[in-house]
Amino acid sequence: MKNYFRTPAALAIVALMAACASTPTSTSLLENTRAEYRQIEQNPNVGTYAQLEMKQASDAMREANLSAERRESAEQIDKQAYLARQKIALTQEVVKKKVAEADVAAAAKERDFIRLNQRTNEANQANANAQQAQLAAQMAQQDAARAQAQAEQAQRNTQDAQRAAEAARAKTAEAEARAAQLEAKLDAQLAELAAKKTERGIIITLGDVLFGTDKSSLTPDGMRSAQKLADVLTQNPTRTVLVEGHTDSTGAAAYNQELSSRRAASVRDALMQMGIASQRVSVRGYGADYPAAGNDSAAGRQLNRRVEIVLSDATGVIKQR
Protein backbone atom coordinates (compact mmCIF):
# COMPACT_ATOMS: atom_id res chain seq x y z
CA MET A 1 0.00 0.00 0.00
CA LYS A 2 2.94 2.29 0.78
CA ASN A 3 4.39 1.70 -2.73
CA TYR A 4 1.06 2.80 -4.20
CA PHE A 5 1.29 6.20 -2.50
CA ARG A 6 4.92 6.64 -3.27
CA THR A 7 4.51 6.13 -7.02
CA PRO A 8 3.08 9.57 -8.02
CA ALA A 9 5.60 11.43 -5.89
CA ALA A 10 8.41 9.29 -7.19
CA LEU A 11 7.32 9.97 -10.74
CA ALA A 12 7.17 13.65 -9.99
CA ILE A 13 10.63 13.66 -8.46
CA VAL A 14 12.03 11.61 -11.38
CA ALA A 15 10.47 14.04 -13.82
CA LEU A 16 11.86 16.89 -11.78
CA MET A 17 15.32 15.39 -11.86
CA ALA A 18 15.04 14.70 -15.59
CA ALA A 19 14.33 18.34 -16.11
CA CYS A 20 17.27 19.36 -14.00
CA ALA A 21 19.01 20.75 -17.04
CA SER A 22 16.34 23.40 -17.24
CA THR A 23 16.49 23.90 -13.38
CA PRO A 24 12.80 24.23 -12.52
CA THR A 25 11.73 26.93 -10.14
CA SER A 26 11.34 25.96 -6.43
CA THR A 27 10.51 27.73 -3.22
CA SER A 28 11.33 27.16 0.41
CA LEU A 29 7.71 26.33 1.09
CA LEU A 30 7.82 23.68 -1.64
CA GLU A 31 11.01 22.20 -0.22
CA ASN A 32 9.53 22.09 3.26
CA THR A 33 6.38 20.50 1.89
CA ARG A 34 8.43 17.87 0.06
CA ALA A 35 10.26 17.04 3.33
CA GLU A 36 6.98 16.73 5.20
CA TYR A 37 5.65 14.54 2.40
CA ARG A 38 8.64 12.22 2.60
CA GLN A 39 8.17 12.00 6.36
CA ILE A 40 4.48 11.15 6.19
CA GLU A 41 5.17 8.78 3.35
CA GLN A 42 7.44 6.75 5.63
CA ASN A 43 4.84 6.49 8.41
CA PRO A 44 3.78 2.79 8.54
CA ASN A 45 0.34 3.67 9.88
CA VAL A 46 -0.70 5.68 6.84
CA GLY A 47 -1.67 2.66 4.78
CA THR A 48 -3.77 1.36 7.65
CA TYR A 49 -5.59 4.49 8.82
CA ALA A 50 -5.43 7.21 6.11
CA GLN A 51 -5.41 5.76 2.63
CA LEU A 52 -7.81 8.33 1.18
CA GLU A 53 -6.11 11.32 2.84
CA MET A 54 -2.70 10.10 1.67
CA LYS A 55 -4.05 9.79 -1.88
CA GLN A 56 -5.25 13.41 -1.73
CA ALA A 57 -1.90 14.56 -0.30
CA SER A 58 -0.06 12.68 -3.03
CA ASP A 59 -2.19 14.27 -5.75
CA ALA A 60 -1.64 17.74 -4.28
CA MET A 61 2.10 17.11 -4.02
CA ARG A 62 2.18 16.08 -7.67
CA GLU A 63 0.42 19.32 -8.68
CA ALA A 64 2.91 21.38 -6.72
CA ASN A 65 5.85 19.63 -8.36
CA LEU A 66 4.26 20.12 -11.82
CA SER A 67 3.93 23.85 -11.11
CA ALA A 68 7.61 23.95 -10.33
CA GLU A 69 8.46 21.96 -13.49
CA ARG A 70 6.41 24.39 -15.60
CA ARG A 71 8.34 27.28 -14.06
CA GLU A 72 5.20 28.87 -12.89
CA SER A 73 5.38 31.88 -10.62
CA ALA A 74 6.57 31.47 -7.05
CA GLU A 75 3.16 32.58 -5.89
CA GLN A 76 1.50 29.79 -7.90
CA ILE A 77 4.05 27.21 -6.74
CA ASP A 78 3.54 28.22 -3.08
CA LYS A 79 -0.16 28.07 -3.59
CA GLN A 80 0.07 24.42 -4.77
CA ALA A 81 2.66 23.64 -2.08
CA TYR A 82 0.36 25.13 0.57
CA LEU A 83 -2.52 22.97 -0.63
CA ALA A 84 -0.28 19.86 -0.56
CA ARG A 85 0.94 20.85 2.92
CA GLN A 86 -2.63 21.09 4.13
CA LYS A 87 -3.40 17.62 2.75
CA ILE A 88 -0.26 16.28 4.39
CA ALA A 89 -1.25 17.87 7.70
CA LEU A 90 -4.71 16.40 7.40
CA THR A 91 -3.20 12.97 6.73
CA GLN A 92 -0.97 13.33 9.80
CA GLU A 93 -3.89 14.40 11.94
CA VAL A 94 -6.07 11.50 10.74
CA VAL A 95 -3.26 9.03 11.35
CA LYS A 96 -2.56 10.45 14.81
CA LYS A 97 -6.24 10.40 15.74
CA LYS A 98 -6.88 6.90 14.47
CA VAL A 99 -3.69 5.55 16.07
CA ALA A 100 -4.86 7.05 19.35
CA GLU A 101 -8.31 5.55 18.87
CA ALA A 102 -6.70 2.21 18.02
CA ASP A 103 -4.54 2.44 21.15
CA VAL A 104 -7.60 3.22 23.23
CA ALA A 105 -9.48 0.34 21.63
CA ALA A 106 -6.51 -1.97 22.14
CA ALA A 107 -6.23 -0.85 25.77
CA ALA A 108 -9.94 -1.44 26.22
CA LYS A 109 -9.64 -4.80 24.54
CA GLU A 110 -6.68 -5.68 26.73
CA ARG A 111 -8.61 -4.50 29.79
CA ASP A 112 -11.63 -6.55 28.77
CA PHE A 113 -9.34 -9.51 28.09
CA ILE A 114 -7.76 -9.14 31.52
CA ARG A 115 -11.17 -8.84 33.14
CA LEU A 116 -12.44 -11.83 31.19
CA ASN A 117 -9.40 -13.83 32.22
CA GLN A 118 -9.86 -12.70 35.79
CA ARG A 119 -13.53 -13.67 35.77
CA THR A 120 -12.64 -16.92 34.02
CA ASN A 121 -9.96 -17.64 36.58
CA GLU A 122 -12.33 -16.76 39.39
CA ALA A 123 -14.98 -18.99 37.88
CA ASN A 124 -12.47 -21.77 37.38
CA GLN A 125 -11.22 -21.36 40.94
CA ALA A 126 -14.77 -21.34 42.24
CA ASN A 127 -15.51 -24.43 40.18
CA ALA A 128 -12.34 -26.09 41.43
CA ASN A 129 -13.25 -25.19 45.01
CA ALA A 130 -16.73 -26.56 44.48
CA GLN A 131 -15.34 -29.76 42.99
CA GLN A 132 -12.87 -30.05 45.83
CA ALA A 133 -15.62 -29.50 48.35
CA GLN A 134 -17.78 -32.06 46.55
CA LEU A 135 -14.89 -34.51 46.51
CA ALA A 136 -14.28 -33.89 50.21
CA ALA A 137 -17.97 -34.45 50.87
CA GLN A 138 -17.92 -37.66 48.84
CA MET A 139 -14.83 -38.86 50.68
CA ALA A 140 -16.43 -38.02 54.01
CA GLN A 141 -19.56 -39.86 52.93
CA GLN A 142 -17.46 -42.83 51.83
CA ASP A 143 -15.58 -42.75 55.14
CA ALA A 144 -18.86 -42.66 57.00
CA ALA A 145 -20.23 -45.52 54.92
CA ARG A 146 -17.03 -47.48 55.46
CA ALA A 147 -17.16 -46.83 59.20
CA GLN A 148 -20.81 -47.87 59.23
CA ALA A 149 -19.98 -51.03 57.29
CA GLN A 150 -17.12 -51.78 59.67
CA ALA A 151 -19.37 -51.22 62.67
CA GLU A 152 -22.01 -53.50 61.17
CA GLN A 153 -19.35 -56.10 60.37
CA ALA A 154 -17.99 -55.82 63.91
CA GLN A 155 -21.51 -56.31 65.23
CA ARG A 156 -21.96 -59.33 62.97
CA ASN A 157 -18.60 -60.66 64.09
CA THR A 158 -19.61 -60.20 67.70
CA GLN A 159 -22.89 -61.96 67.07
CA ASP A 160 -21.08 -64.74 65.21
CA ALA A 161 -18.61 -65.04 68.07
CA GLN A 162 -21.46 -65.17 70.56
CA ARG A 163 -23.23 -67.83 68.53
CA ALA A 164 -19.96 -69.73 68.14
CA ALA A 165 -19.35 -69.48 71.87
CA GLU A 166 -22.88 -70.65 72.60
CA ALA A 167 -22.46 -73.49 70.11
CA ALA A 168 -19.10 -74.37 71.66
CA ARG A 169 -20.63 -74.32 75.13
CA ALA A 170 -23.49 -76.43 73.92
CA LYS A 171 -21.08 -78.79 72.20
CA THR A 172 -18.92 -78.92 75.30
CA ALA A 173 -21.93 -79.55 77.47
CA GLU A 174 -23.09 -82.22 75.05
CA ALA A 175 -19.62 -83.77 75.01
CA GLU A 176 -19.44 -83.60 78.80
CA ALA A 177 -22.89 -85.14 79.08
CA ARG A 178 -21.93 -87.86 76.61
CA ALA A 179 -18.65 -88.39 78.46
CA ALA A 180 -20.55 -88.58 81.73
CA GLN A 181 -22.92 -91.10 80.21
CA LEU A 182 -20.02 -93.14 78.88
CA GLU A 183 -18.26 -92.88 82.22
CA ALA A 184 -21.37 -93.96 84.05
CA LYS A 185 -21.86 -96.81 81.62
CA LEU A 186 -18.18 -97.75 81.95
CA ASP A 187 -18.45 -97.69 85.72
CA ALA A 188 -21.49 -99.97 85.52
CA GLN A 189 -19.71 -102.34 83.14
CA LEU A 190 -16.58 -102.37 85.28
CA ALA A 191 -18.70 -102.99 88.34
CA GLU A 192 -20.05 -106.13 86.65
CA LEU A 193 -16.43 -107.21 86.14
CA ALA A 194 -15.59 -106.43 89.79
CA ALA A 195 -12.92 -103.97 88.62
CA LYS A 196 -10.83 -102.11 91.16
CA LYS A 197 -9.11 -98.73 90.96
CA THR A 198 -5.43 -98.91 91.86
CA GLU A 199 -2.33 -96.75 91.50
CA ARG A 200 -1.74 -98.39 88.12
CA GLY A 201 -5.27 -97.72 87.00
CA ILE A 202 -8.38 -99.92 86.77
CA ILE A 203 -7.66 -103.64 87.17
CA ILE A 204 -10.03 -106.48 86.30
CA THR A 205 -9.15 -109.84 87.80
CA LEU A 206 -10.05 -113.14 86.19
CA GLY A 207 -9.72 -115.78 88.88
CA ASP A 208 -8.43 -119.33 88.59
CA VAL A 209 -11.98 -120.67 88.31
CA LEU A 210 -12.38 -119.03 84.88
CA PHE A 211 -9.73 -121.35 83.39
CA GLY A 212 -9.63 -125.10 83.14
CA THR A 213 -7.72 -126.84 85.90
CA ASP A 214 -4.03 -126.45 85.19
CA LYS A 215 -4.99 -125.24 81.69
CA SER A 216 -4.85 -121.94 79.77
CA SER A 217 -8.23 -122.14 78.01
CA LEU A 218 -11.10 -119.99 79.28
CA THR A 219 -14.22 -121.63 80.70
CA PRO A 220 -17.65 -120.47 79.47
CA ASP A 221 -17.82 -118.10 82.44
CA GLY A 222 -14.38 -116.85 81.51
CA MET A 223 -15.55 -116.21 77.92
CA ARG A 224 -18.55 -114.27 79.24
CA SER A 225 -16.18 -112.09 81.29
CA ALA A 226 -13.99 -111.62 78.22
CA GLN A 227 -17.06 -110.55 76.21
CA LYS A 228 -17.92 -107.93 78.81
CA LEU A 229 -14.36 -106.64 78.61
CA ALA A 230 -14.59 -106.63 74.79
CA ASP A 231 -17.79 -104.56 75.06
CA VAL A 232 -15.94 -102.03 77.24
CA LEU A 233 -13.10 -101.77 74.72
CA THR A 234 -15.51 -101.47 71.76
CA GLN A 235 -17.37 -98.60 73.40
CA ASN A 236 -14.11 -96.90 74.46
CA PRO A 237 -11.93 -97.15 71.33
CA THR A 238 -9.06 -95.07 72.73
CA ARG A 239 -8.39 -97.40 75.64
CA THR A 240 -6.00 -100.37 75.62
CA VAL A 241 -5.38 -103.24 78.02
CA LEU A 242 -2.39 -105.07 79.48
CA VAL A 243 -3.15 -108.73 80.29
CA GLU A 244 -0.88 -110.11 83.02
CA GLY A 245 -0.85 -113.84 83.88
CA HIS A 246 0.06 -115.02 87.41
CA THR A 247 0.38 -118.38 89.19
CA ASP A 248 1.10 -119.63 92.70
CA SER A 249 4.51 -120.88 93.70
CA THR A 250 3.60 -124.58 93.48
CA GLY A 251 5.56 -126.49 90.85
CA ALA A 252 8.49 -125.55 88.69
CA ALA A 253 9.04 -121.86 88.05
CA ALA A 254 9.50 -122.40 84.31
CA TYR A 255 6.20 -124.22 84.07
CA ASN A 256 4.45 -121.49 86.09
CA GLN A 257 5.95 -118.86 83.83
CA GLU A 258 4.81 -120.69 80.71
CA LEU A 259 1.30 -121.28 82.11
CA SER A 260 0.87 -117.62 83.11
CA SER A 261 1.91 -116.48 79.62
CA ARG A 262 -0.50 -118.93 77.92
CA ARG A 263 -3.41 -117.81 80.08
CA ALA A 264 -2.71 -114.14 79.27
CA ALA A 265 -2.50 -115.04 75.60
CA SER A 266 -5.84 -116.91 75.81
CA VAL A 267 -7.53 -113.72 77.04
CA ARG A 268 -5.92 -111.74 74.22
CA ASP A 269 -7.03 -114.29 71.61
CA ALA A 270 -10.59 -114.25 72.96
CA LEU A 271 -10.69 -110.46 72.76
CA MET A 272 -9.37 -110.56 69.19
CA GLN A 273 -12.08 -113.07 68.25
CA MET A 274 -14.57 -110.59 69.67
CA GLY A 275 -13.34 -107.81 67.34
CA ILE A 276 -10.65 -106.09 69.37
CA ALA A 277 -7.49 -105.19 67.40
CA SER A 278 -4.34 -107.00 68.50
CA GLN A 279 -2.38 -103.74 68.91
CA ARG A 280 -4.76 -102.73 71.69
CA VAL A 281 -3.94 -105.81 73.78
CA SER A 282 -0.54 -106.48 75.35
CA VAL A 283 0.30 -109.64 77.36
CA ARG A 284 2.79 -110.48 80.11
CA GLY A 285 3.43 -113.71 82.00
CA TYR A 286 4.92 -113.32 85.47
CA GLY A 287 4.60 -116.84 86.92
CA ALA A 288 4.74 -116.73 90.71
CA ASP A 289 6.12 -113.18 90.77
CA TYR A 290 3.92 -110.47 92.22
CA PRO A 291 1.68 -112.66 94.41
CA ALA A 292 -1.59 -111.22 95.61
CA ALA A 293 -1.51 -113.29 98.85
CA GLY A 294 0.70 -115.78 100.67
CA ASN A 295 1.30 -119.19 99.11
CA ASP A 296 1.24 -120.98 102.50
CA SER A 297 -2.52 -121.63 102.30
CA ALA A 298 -4.88 -123.02 99.71
CA ALA A 299 -6.94 -119.81 99.78
CA GLY A 300 -3.84 -117.70 99.24
CA ARG A 301 -2.58 -119.87 96.39
CA GLN A 302 -6.02 -119.67 94.69
CA LEU A 303 -5.88 -115.85 94.82
CA ASN A 304 -2.42 -115.92 93.26
CA ARG A 305 -3.61 -118.07 90.34
CA ARG A 306 -5.19 -115.23 88.34
CA VAL A 307 -5.10 -113.05 85.24
CA GLU A 308 -5.09 -109.30 85.88
CA ILE A 309 -6.24 -106.99 83.10
CA VAL A 310 -5.03 -103.40 83.46
CA LEU A 311 -7.30 -100.93 81.64
CA SER A 312 -5.54 -97.82 80.28
CA ASP A 313 -6.69 -94.24 80.70
CA ALA A 314 -8.71 -92.51 77.97
CA THR A 315 -5.50 -91.74 76.02
CA GLY A 316 -4.36 -95.38 75.91
CA VAL A 317 -1.57 -95.00 78.47
CA ILE A 318 -0.91 -97.79 81.02
CA LYS A 319 1.35 -97.29 84.01
CA GLN A 320 3.96 -100.05 83.99
CA ARG A 321 5.12 -101.94 87.03
Domain boundary among 175, 204, 222: 175
Residue 5 in this model has a pLDDT that exceeds 50: no
Domain boundary among 117, 149, 175: 175
Regarding whether 162 and 29 lie in a shared domain, the answer is yes
- The tens digit of pLDDT for each residue in 7-28 reads 555 444 444 444 444 445 899 9
Regarding whether 142 and 96 lie in a shared domain, the answer is yes
Residue 179 in this model has a pLDDT that exceeds 90: no
- The tens digit of pLDDT for each residue in 235-245 reads 999 999 999 99
- The tens digit of pLDDT for each residue in 189-226 reads 888 888 999 988 899 999 888 887 788 899 999 999 99
- pLDDT band at residue 269 under the 50/70/90 scheme: very high
- pLDDT band at residue 178 under the 50/70/90 scheme: confident
Count how many domains the chain has: 2
State pTM to two decimals: 0.50
- Give the helix/strand (H/E) hosting 5: helix 2-18
Range of the domain at 170: 1-175
For residue 269, the domain's CATH number is 3.30.1330.60
Regarding whether 153 and 5 lie in a shared domain, the answer is yes
- Cβ within 8 Å of residue 60, ≥6 positions away: 80, 83, 84, 86, 87, 88
Total number of residues shown for the chain: 321
Domain boundary among 149, 175, 201: 175
Regarding whether 210 and 167 lie in a shared domain, the answer is no
Regarding whether 205 and 171 lie in a shared domain, the answer is no
Query: Which pLDDT score, from 0 to 100, does residue 310 have?
Result: 95
Q: In this structure, is residue 317 part of a structural domain?
A: no
Regarding whether 307 and 169 lie in a shared domain, the answer is no
Pairing verdict, β 281-285 and 201-207: unpaired
Regarding whether 123 and 53 lie in a shared domain, the answer is yes
- The tens digit of pLDDT for each residue in 274-298 reads 999 999 999 999 999 999 999 999 9
Q: In this structure, is residue 183 part of a structural domain?
A: no
179, 180, 184, 185 alpha-carbon torsion, rounded to 10°: -30
Q: In this structure, is residue 187 part of a structural domain?
A: no
**How far apart are alpha carbons 243 and 223 in whole angstroms?**
15
At 91 the three-state DSSP class reads helix
At 315 the three-state DSSP class reads coil
Regarding whether 148 and 222 lie in a shared domain, the answer is no
Regarding whether 200 and 167 lie in a shared domain, the answer is no
Q: In this structure, is residue 137 part of a structural domain?
A: yes
